[in-house]
Amino acid sequence: MKADPRGVLTGTHFMDGDHACCEGALAAGARFASGYPITPSTEVVERFAQRVPTVGGCFIQMEDELAASITLQGGVWGGAKAFTVTSGPGFSLMMEHIGYAVMTETPCVFVDVQRGGPSTGLPTLPSQGDMMQARWGSHGDYEIIALCPNSPQECFDLTIKAFNFAEEFRIPVMFMMDECVGHMTEKVVIPPADEIEVVPRKHTHKSIEDYLPYGTNGDMVPEMAHAGEGYKFHMTGLTHDERGYPNMTPPMQKKLVTRLQKKILSNVERITMFEEDSTENADVIVVSYGITSRVAQRAIDMARAKGLKVGKLRLITAWPFPDFKIRELAARTKAFVVPELNLGQMAREVQRAAEGKAKTILVPHAGGSVHNPEDILAAIQEAVR
Amino acid sequence: MSTLVNPSRIDATPGNPVEPFLRSDRMPHIWCPGCGIGTTVNCFAEALIESKIDLKSLALVSGIGCTGRVAGYVKLDSFHTTHGRAIPFATGLKLANPHLNVVVYSGDGDLSAIGGNHLIHAARRNIDLKVICVNNLIYAMTGGQTAPTTPGHATTSTSPYGTFEPAFNLPHLVEASGAVYVARWTTFHVKQLARSITEAFKKKGFSFIEVISPCPTLYQRRNKLGDGLDAMKYYKEKSKTKHGCPTSEVGLTLTGEIIVGKFVDRDRPDYASLLKAQMHEALGNKYVDYDEEQGYGCSADGGCEEESCH
């Protein structure tokens, strides 16, 4: 379906990534958000608090992130599309409820504008240190989707994508911004509402008599009902059967957790988005994401000016990780250079997926600023030597 | 799992008037002999009959613990959430669909320890929630550990030499935080409890009903207080009904008097009313109120043009 025009601020704007993310959420149909203030993410909900009463929805500032991360899920079961926004320390507090959204198959979006950590770390400065936490932060086995924008325009475009994935697969989607992308102001083009594809809630067509809340068909994604519609369904974070009733047995655990994984893993090629450039005859391929991809572009340009054959792979989807793409590229390149604003997180994934067929060279950065392009260039030169 | 029967196809056994409110396919329940939680559910069902509330509009939210299991036994839209977070979940549910009657049904540890911050803030905001707090004075599900409500000198698995921390006086706490309706009963007071729940359904705002309830397995036994029947005798003999009693005077002790009754019944605007008033004042006709047709965003009964959304 197309976006509801009430939420779409069609036009050409000069806005920062945080605000663009908010506009993306509104365009995607989000009409409910719960949040707790934390730098450098707060501008997203500040704008939402200002805008949403004029499009038919509400924002509530909760008492902490523990509350914010489940209030939005109550909103979803009440019928709204909903999200929350945070940064490192708050993201840590939200982990239990990311697992709850996975287990109860609550479609929602968690925006994390990453800052330097651990702990309070660097509240106003960038990092990409939450990439593994986004994937593994909650307990148990599960799959989520995580997207990494590298510009305010992508903060708009990919936020819509994040909501669409959340609805399609009934999972929490992690929207992994960083302080630079969040606070960077650039041109953002918001198209007319009838050019924006929005995935509606997968609401059940079944009668009350025929509806099983966690019964699935071929696509492994159950149909949803909302509170107040007469279905009188039960929902729990306990291991449950198709009725939603607790069933804490090893066979049920295996069946449920396997399905929750498979509904994502069987769609990896469709979910994973990336930008690929000149990888065909590349001696070295720079793999990057988020703000670091823009610094990496400068380093790639410098290397090419020196006559080096350098390819580029920019991860737009970080999770699920595009193993298949890395495997394919590893067969025809010598090395991957992976700059990231942490001491080595996604680089491990590149190394794992490359299976030793090409070497992986990490260009670490502890956070607080972006890389110096010369450091990435040096790694490229080292790789081709 | 093709042998599973859709719960709505199971007929309630005629005879017991509360059975239509229960998921009979989930019986027997997990609660111990002598436990008071089932009694409170019975009173809750009585209140539903008495108040003639539209069951379709009623959602029940629980946290984790023995009382947290109530959500799994009632035939309503029922949400078994995470430990301590029933109130914020219920807050989101109520805000996204203001037509819902939302009941939070949970235990003392869940609501006042791990969920204590949410309890006071929901009362402050005066969110229109009906909170039923079954207070068995202990963490029962995990084996009888000290709760913030455990009265002084009681022995628990984590206070083997007796508790010495002062306990929360929950009615006092929620009144000070802003609740519009505060009552306390014991599981001996079944009629009074059902009546209080019925009254709370008529209130708009944050209502809190504390129910003192026995845990024979872990609290009574360890403290040599007898079984469930002994608890009933204690509640009968030592309870004193004092409607309107200042909540500062209703703290509990190990074996002393239990003040019960309706302590607070007042009116102040609830969160949704304040929200709407503020937005109308600040935004005038630019404010888009909750849409009766479309709800917020993509509700089942509208908001989307696609057939697949209906």
Residue A372 scores a pLDDT above 80: yes
Any residues with CB less than 8 A from the CB of B242 and at least 6 apart, and which?
A: B250, B259, B260, B261
Instruction: Answer yes or no: same fold for A5-195 and A275-384.
Output: yes
Count Cα neighbours of A344 within 13 Å in the Cβ-side half-sphere: 8
Instruction: Name the residue ranges covered by the structural domains of chain B.
Output: 13-268, 271-310
Distance from CA of A192 to the nearest CA of B (A): 17
Report pLDDT digits (tens) over B205-239: 999 999 999 999 999 999 999 999 999 999 999 99
Residue A119: which pLDDT band, with cuts at 50, 70 and 90?
very high
Report pLDDT digits (tens) over B61-82: 999 999 999 999 999 999 999 9
Tell if the CB–CB gap between B89 and A71 is shorter than 8 Å: yes
Joined together, the tokens standing for residue A360 give 């992986």
At B75 the pLDDT is 97
The answer to whether B233 contacts chain A (CB < 8 Å) is: no
The answer to whether A137 contacts chain B (CB < 8 Å) is: no
At A355 the pLDDT is 98
Q: Which of B6, B56, B298 is opposite residue A201, by nearest beta carbon?
A: B298
Write the Ramachandran bin of A296: left for phi over 0, alpha for psi from -120 to 50, otherwise beta: alpha
Residue B302: which pLDDT band, with cuts at 50, 70 and 90?
very low
The topology (CATH level 3) of B13-268 is Rossmann fold (3.40.50)
Residues A323-329 have a mean pLDDT of: 98
Mutate to test the interface with A, among B29, B95, B110 (most CBs of A within 10 A): B95
At B215 the pLDDT is 98
Mutate to test the interface with A, among B6, B22, B66 (most CBs of A within 10 A): B6
Any residues with CB less than 8 A from the CB of B13 and at least 6 apart, and which?
A: B19, B24
Compute CA A363 distance to the chain's CA centroid, rounded to the nearest angstrom.
Answer: 23
Residue A358 scores a pLDDT above 50: yes
Which chain A residue's Cα is nearest to B27?
A245
At A71 the pLDDT is 98
User: Does residue B115 contact residue A98 with C-beta atoms inside 8 Å?
Assistant: no
At B13 the pLDDT is 59
The answer to whether B279 contacts chain A (CB < 8 Å) is: yes
User: Does residue B31 contact residue B215 with C-beta atoms inside 8 Å?
Assistant: no
Residue B16: which pLDDT band, with cuts at 50, 70 and 90?
confident
Global pTM reads 0.96
**Does the interface predicted TM-score (ipTM) exceed 0.95?**
yes
Q: Which of B7, B95, B279 is opposite residue A60, by nearest beta carbon?
A: B95
Mean pLDDT of all residues in chain B?
92
Any residues with CB less than 8 A from the CB of B284 and at least 6 apart, and which?
A: none
Burial zone of B279 (CB within 10 Å; 0-12 exposed, 13-18 middle, 19+ buried): middle
Whole-number Å distance between alpha carbons of B1 and B234? 47
The answer to whether A31 contacts chain B (CB < 8 Å) is: yes
Homologous superfamily (CATH) for A5-195: Thiamin diphosphate (ThDP)-binding fold, Pyr/PP domains (3.40.50.970)
Report pLDDT digits (tens) over B146-158: 999 999 999 999 9
Tell if the CB–CB gap between B300 and A226 is shorter than 8 Å: yes
The phi, psi pair for A149, rounded to 5°, reads -75, 150
The answer to whether B101 contacts chain A (CB < 8 Å) is: no
Closest to B196 in 3D by CA, of B250, B245, B257, B263: B263
Any residues with CB less than 8 A from the CB of B308 and at least 6 apart, and which?
A: A200, A202, A203
Q: Which of A58, A232, A246 is opposite residue B75, by nearest beta carbon?
A: A232
At B274 the pLDDT is 97
The answer to whether B76 contacts chain A (CB < 8 Å) is: yes
Residue B298: which pLDDT band, with cuts at 50, 70 and 90?
very low
Which chain A residue's Cα is nearest to B282?
A53
Tell if the CB–CB gap between A96 and B289 is shorter than 8 Å: no
The answer to whether B93 contacts chain A (CB < 8 Å) is: yes
The answer to whether A2 contacts chain B (CB < 8 Å) is: yes
Residue A219: which pLDDT band, with cuts at 50, 70 and 90?
confident
Residues A228-248 have a mean pLDDT of: 97
Residue B303 scores a pLDDT above 50: no
The answer to whether A11 contacts chain B (CB < 8 Å) is: no
The phi, psi pair for A235, rounded to 5°, reads -135, 135
Residues A176-196 have a mean pLDDT of: 98
Residue A93 scores a pLDDT above 90: yes
The answer to whether A79 contacts chain B (CB < 8 Å) is: yes
The answer to whether A82 contacts chain B (CB < 8 Å) is: yes
Q: Which residues pair with B130 in a beta bridge?
A: B103, B207
Burial zone of B212 (CB within 10 Å; 0-12 exposed, 13-18 middle, 19+ buried): buried
Residues of B within 8 A of A1 (CB-CB) are 304-306, 309
Whole-number Å distance between alpha carbons of A77 and A106? 8
Tell if the CB–CB gap between A100 and B298 is shorter than 8 Å: no
Distance from CA of A216 to the nearest CA of B (A): 11
What are the DSSP calls for A25-37, one per residue? HHHHTEEEEEE--
The topology (CATH level 3) of A275-384 is Rossmann fold (3.40.50)
Any residues with CB less than 8 A from the CB of B245 and at least 6 apart, and which?
A: B259, B261, B263
The answer to whether B310 contacts chain A (CB < 8 Å) is: yes
Joined together, the tokens standing for residue B61 give 């939210």
Tell if the CB–CB gap between B297 and A226 is shorter than 8 Å: no
Tell if the CB–CB gap between B78 and A55 is shorter than 8 Å: no
User: Does residue A44 contact residue A23 with C-beta atoms inside 8 Å?
Assistant: no
Distance from CA of B259 to the nearest CA of A (A): 31
Which chain B residue's Cα is nearest to A246?
B72
Residue B7: which pLDDT band, with cuts at 50, 70 and 90?
confident
Joined together, the tokens standing for residue B270 give 């609830």
From the CB of residue A365, how many other CB atoms can be counted at a distance below 10 Å?
A: 22
User: Does residue A168 contact residue A134 with C-beta atoms inside 8 Å?
Assistant: no
At B160 the pLDDT is 97
| Bond prior to B151 in cis (omega within 30° of 0) | no
Residues of B within 8 A of A248 (CB-CB) are none
Residue B190 scores a pLDDT above 70: yes
Residues of A within 8 A of B85 (CB-CB) are 66-67, 70, 97
Residues of A within 8 A of B75 (CB-CB) are 232
* Pairing label, strands A317-319, A145-147: antiparallel
Distance from CA of A237 to the nearest CA of B (A): 6
Distance from CA of B10 to the nearest CA of A (A): 10
Compute CA A233 distance to the chain's CA centroid, rounded to the nearest angstrom.
Answer: 29
Helix H or strand E encompassing A12 = strand A11-16
Tell if the CB–CB gap between A79 and B297 is shorter than 8 Å: yes
At B6 the pLDDT is 77
Joined together, the tokens standing for residue B146 give 């000290």
Q: Which of A74, A100, A230 is opposite residue B91, by nearest beta carbon?
A: A74
The answer to whether B27 contacts chain A (CB < 8 Å) is: no
Instruction: Name the residue ranges covered by the structural domains of chain A.
Output: 5-195, 275-384
Tell if the CB–CB gap between A76 and B84 is shorter than 8 Å: no
Residue B306 scores a pLDDT above 50: no
Tell if the CB–CB gap between A212 and B4 is shorter than 8 Å: yes
What are the DSSP calls for B242-289, one per residue? -TT--GGG----SSS-EEEEEEEE-----HHHHHHHHHHHHHGGG--P
Whole-number Å distance between alpha carbons of B121 and B133? 16
What are the DSSP calls for A101-151, one per residue? HHHHT--EEEEEEEEE-STT-EEEEE--TTHHHHHH-SSSS---EEE---S
Count of H-run helices and E-run strands, chain B: 8, 8
Residue B3: which pLDDT band, with cuts at 50, 70 and 90?
low
